[in-house]
Every structure is written in structure tokens, then in C-alpha cells.
Chain A
């Protein structure tokens, strides 16, 4: 009996002393922190992706609490709703920012861009990029090793085995920008999602002269400037043999898409377009080489045409 008592006493006293010590030390080294930091951190997604430009969610929370206005502070993952919550906690107005999404600016699929060598090193775009031009002759295009896919924390990127290019799942993409940094060729760009997710993109970053670019890839932008002439809103600039669509100015008229001779301009998330007139089709030699998807759904487009005719009638 005595033994048990002594054991209990010794254990109890040791525990108490330890607790007291811990408490005293915790008091001594206590760091004064704004309690709101914890509150803000709670509403943040906690992915610690660094997409906001800070080291993690905690760092963004600290920055928000310190800041005098929420301008420029944005959690790309949570977007506007999260920032509104943060604003509510801190009593500040959340600055509305349009949601963005990652866009892959290369459409050099396997059939458009012939392989001219066989890469046998580590499957890493960065290493391949430092070594040479890549498996095709395009020194600007996607290398296809999937550094961006590996960098994405949200599983929004995947390699399409058919085209050998990364595909963005717009539902999952949070525009954190990790893939943009991971791509050694700067192919991925964060663009505004646009109304109903619709946007026009030049899916090419090749700055070579037209003939050279064309030789390496049938789908390359050759810098011909047709789209620029077609655009009524000055949204398109052609620099270094490469067209770029300014998403602030673009009104989504889709004229440039039709004007592009190589099919480098893509309209994303638009409903399928009425089938092109035959005359136009002959003017576009690249049309034949374009991925079969346009031709694969003739029934659907004709259906829409029919519907439209009915409407007109």
C-alpha cells in the first residue's frame, strides 16, 4: 500500500513540477501576437501553395492583418469569397479581383510537331531545356516532361497522352501560379477566366520567323499579323513574330480565330461554331492538319445550323 502511495506521490509531484516549469517558460518566452492572425488563417484554405506571393497561408494572414487595405492581397485559391471573409474579420473592404486560370500556350501536338530526336535523360523539362532544343525543332514549345503537372498541388494539370501537352482542369485550377514558375519555357500564363469562362488565347510562344516556326510546328504562330488586322479592338499585338491577345481589351468576337492561318488562336469554352464556309476552308491550309476534333463533330455543328435556320424562319 505504501509503495503505491509513494509511487503516486512521486509521479504526481513530478508532473506538477513539470507543468509549473512548462507554464513559467511559456510565460517567459511568450510572443505577443495579434489574435486576428489566427482568425484570418482559419478562413484561408491552408494549402500553403504560395500562390499569393507569401511563404504560406500564415504569412498571408500576417500580411493581411498588418496591411491598411486589402488591395494587392489576394488568395488565388479561395478567391473573392475568401477575401470577403478576411475583409469581414479585419473590417476592411475586399478588393474584387477577377478569377484567373492557368492557360497552356502551346498547341504543338504530336502530329503537328514532328519529333526530331529522342530525349533519354531525366524526365524533367528543366533539365531537358538546359540541355537542348528538346525532342522537336521548336525551341519555345512544350517539352512534355510534366514539370508543371508535378508542381500542381491541386491535381489540376495532367498530360494528354494523345497530344503530349498538359491540360488544365479549370474546375480544380486555383491560379496559384506554381506551374507558371515550374515551366522553364514560360508557356503557362495566368489569364482571367473571362465571362462564362470564355477567352481567346494564342496557344503558341514561338518567336522564330514564320518559315522557321512553321517548319518546326504546323500549329505555330507565324507572326503574319492577320489576326491583328482583323481585330477591331486593338487587343492583338504582334511582336517578335508572335501574336498576343490582351485579355483586358479582347471582346471575344472570335474573328481572329477564323483569321489565323495556322490555327494557333484558340477560343476556349465557346459553344461549337457553325461549320466554316468552303471558300474559307481552302484559304486555311492548316485546317487539314488541325486535330480531328473539329471534324469529329460535324453532326453537332450541323444540328446547331439547323436550329439557327429554324430560328430565322
Chain B
């Protein structure tokens, strides 16, 4: 069975809490806050005004550049103000505030449950519809999808790799989406193959989801050029570069994009929203997120419209458990711990994980015993022990020489360290510093 070649770890997957819970729709809130930064790149520019009435699916904010994405209204109602709000990490971000009134959708959106399989569109039309719908990668990075579909001149996509890996422990939303909306995902794949003008697609799914593998294999057998590849269980298989290595055995060069080896990677949730955008004309206004935790009353997978306060989603899942010590946005390996749950759901929130207090505390670090376990765990083949020491000593140049910019933040080093050293904390800090230095140097060279 295939997997990527370098490093990796095996965290306990803990998916049983929310696995196979049917996707439940979260009720509409009374007031909603829609953040204007829900993607990587420039913030979107608001095109609505205070007091304006909007319908579901109407454009709220326009992409603020090539690498940016449109934001549409997930609700119908009145805009009350455009102001800054506080995100789950206490930082300020611009947002549109609105009072929700009823649930009135734009007439152009097809709300029937029928699956629309046929299409007769040029690649350009498909990409335009994706771009208009504000679709971003829902796997976590939130990179605008239309950018990926337009390879730079001279580069040709050869294969579409569909990420159904969900290697993060606890999360099950992609798994459930594949089970419930496999057919739509297949249509989405065909749309993307048409948009990229390619004939081959590989769906990568880890073997801890045998029902999803079976279901997708069944569907793929009816579709030309689509193949399901069961993958060995190993974290971080869902990382873009690791997944390409697992599926087609090519390694993306350092500092390059997947298109360099002819691959385009998209998450199943992204592909589902591509289907909705192109075939149903429904922009990206909601996503499935996993709300889970050992002590949560009703862990499950919830369909949440962007702008719904996370606290409301938590209520649906049975409220914050008594023993909660840490709430994580996303999975436990790469998700960020939050300091409040008032933040609205957005394109980035793939999950909410409640860790009991006993599991929330870090263990006091000891001396590095130079066991080299971080080196063998690093999926990028870096030397985390060295990089973290260099960051501690502020040796930025040496860090750059040791390829710190290749670090993908996966957390394998810290996960595996027997001395519990905060390796990734320092490396991440160093990466931010080195990144700044490199950008400054490039800016100076341009002048």
C-alpha cells in the first residue's frame, strides 16, 4: 500500500466520536458576523453598505486581488455595520455584521436535491464560475481554488489528486462528505478535469476509512480516468506535497508548487463546493465541520453557514463540556488553540475539538538527548533539533541554510520528542523571521 517516503508519525486517530454521524444542518443565527478575511491572500473588499438588504448568495465582498476570494452572504437580512471583530485568537479582523431575517435565496441558485450530472462548459467558464463563487481550499490552507486551476505559462497539469485523506486525528467531516455526497464529488472531479484539460484523477484515501474507499471505488469504476488509491495510515499524508508523493511518487522540489510535477491537489470538500458552484450556481457559503471531543455530549458533523457564531454550533453539539481545558480550531496536530468561541464560522473552520484539561497541558521539557527521533519523523527531511536551537539563538542565516522554509508546520517533531521539547514553537518563530528576511531581500533586489 502506498504512502509518502520520508518521515511521518502515527498519532491515535480518535475518529470514533464523530465518525458516521450524519451531516446535520445548523439552525440560522439571529445576528451574523461575516469576516472579510477567510482565505490566504489579500482581504476581500466589501461591496455592500450599512442598511442594505441582501439575499442568500449575494456578493458581500469582492476579491481584493488575484490571490483572494469573493465572499457571499450566507444569510438574508440587513447589513448593520462593517467593522472589525475579534477572531478566535483575540486578534482584530474586518467583518460585515448583519441581522438575519428569514431565509430568502437568490433565484439563480438551484436548491433542489437533484444531482445535475451533465454539463457543457468551456474550461474558462468553469474556472470563472469557481472564481465567482469564492471557492478556497477547504482542507485548511484556504488557498483560492481558481488560482490553482490556472497553471503559469509553460506548466501543464497532468493529474488531479483528490485529497480524501483526512490525516488529522479526530476530524471526520471529509469522510462523512464522501459517504453522503460521493456522486456530487464525482461530478466535481469531472468538472475540474475538464477545466484543467486532463484525463487522470487519483483519489487518495487512508485505509482507516474502508467504507469511503469502497463507496468511492464503486463510483470511480463508472467514471473514466478516475482511480481510488487506498493509502497507508501515516500523518501528515494530507499535506499537499506528501499526498503527491504518496499518490504518484513524485516529490515537489523545495520552494516550488505542485504544478512543477504536473499535479493539482484539491480536497474533497473543495470539490463538492466546486460542484455546487458550477452545477447549482450556489456560492461557497457553508461548510461541513466536525465538532468533537471525548467529553462532548453530541459530537458530530455539522453543516454550518459562515457567520454563525461557533458558540451556537457548540450548543448544537451539547454545549462546552465541564472538563474542557483547550478548544482547538481544526485537528490536534495543526489546529490552533482558541481563547474564545465567539468567533463566527468561516471557510477556515474545519473542526472544533474539545480537549479535556488533563490532556491540555504540555509536559515540562527536558534536555535534548539527541535521539534523532525528530529527524526521522520530519516528513520534509529537516533537522528539527538543530533548527529549533538555531531559532533559540537567533541564528537566522544558518536556519535559512538548513532549509527552514521547507517546514510545513506539521508538528511531527514536537509530537515525537521524548524530551517534550517545544521544537516547532521555535522553528515556527524562526520561519517567520527568516521569511521576513527573504522578502526584504527580494524587495531590495527588485529595486
Contact = CB atoms under 8 A, between A and B. Distances in A.
Interface string B84-105: 0010011110000000000000
A116 interface: yes
A124 B339 contact: no
B362 A117 contact: no
B89 A131 contact: yes
B52 interface: no
B429 A132 contact: no
Given A121-B422, A127-B429, A134 B362 contact: no
A120 B422 CA distance: 11
Nearest to B89: A132
Nearest to A216: B90
| Range of interface residues on A (Cβ < 8 Å) | 10 to 19
B428 interface: yes
Contacts of B89: 131-133
B366 to A, nearest CB: 14
A62 interface: no
Contacts of A124: 425, 429
A27 interface: no
B424 to A, nearest CB: 10
A122 B428 CA distance: 12
A140 to B, nearest CB: 10
A18 B86 CA distance: 72
A299 interface: no
A139 interface: yes
A139 B425 contact: no
A138 to B, nearest CB: 9
B425 A127 contact: yes
A204 B422 CA distance: 31
Interface residues of B, number: 18
A257 interface: no
Nearest to A126: B429
A133 B339 contact: yes
Contact of A133 (B91, B361, B426): B91
B422 A208 contact: no
Interface in A102-151: 116-117, 120-122, 124, 126-127, 130-134, 137, 139
Chain B interface helix/strand/loop/mixed: mixed
B339 A121 contact: no
B428 A130 contact: yes
Interface string A187-198: 000000000000
Contacts of A208: 92
B221 interface: no
Interface in A134-186: 134, 137, 139
Contact of B90 (A121, A126, A130, A133): A133
B422 A132 contact: no
Contacts of A126: 429
Contact of A122 (B90, B340, B361, B425): B425
A137 B92 contact: no
Nearest to B325: A118
A121 B362 CA distance: 8
Nearest to B431: A130
Contacts of B425: 121-122, 124, 127
B141 interface: no
Contacts of A132: 89-91, 336-337, 339
B371 interface: no
B215 to A, nearest CB: 39
B432 interface: yes
B432 A117 contact: no
Contacts of B90: 116-117, 132-134, 137, 139
B360 interface: yes
A156 to B, nearest CB: 20
Contacts of B340: 116
Nearest to B433: A126
A4 to B, nearest CB: 51
A121 B432 CA distance: 17
Nearest to A135: B339
Contacts of A134: 90
B428 A127 contact: yes
B426 A116 contact: no
A116 B362 contact: no
Contacts of B86: 137
Q: Which 4 A-B pairs have the closest CB atoms?
A: A133-B90, A132-B89, A117-B339, A122-B422
Interface of A: 116-117, 120-122, 124, 126-127, 130-134, 137, 139, 208
Given A116-B339, A124-B429, 8 more contacts: A116-B90, A117-B339, A132-B91, A132-B337, A132-B339, A133-B90, A137-B90, A139-B92
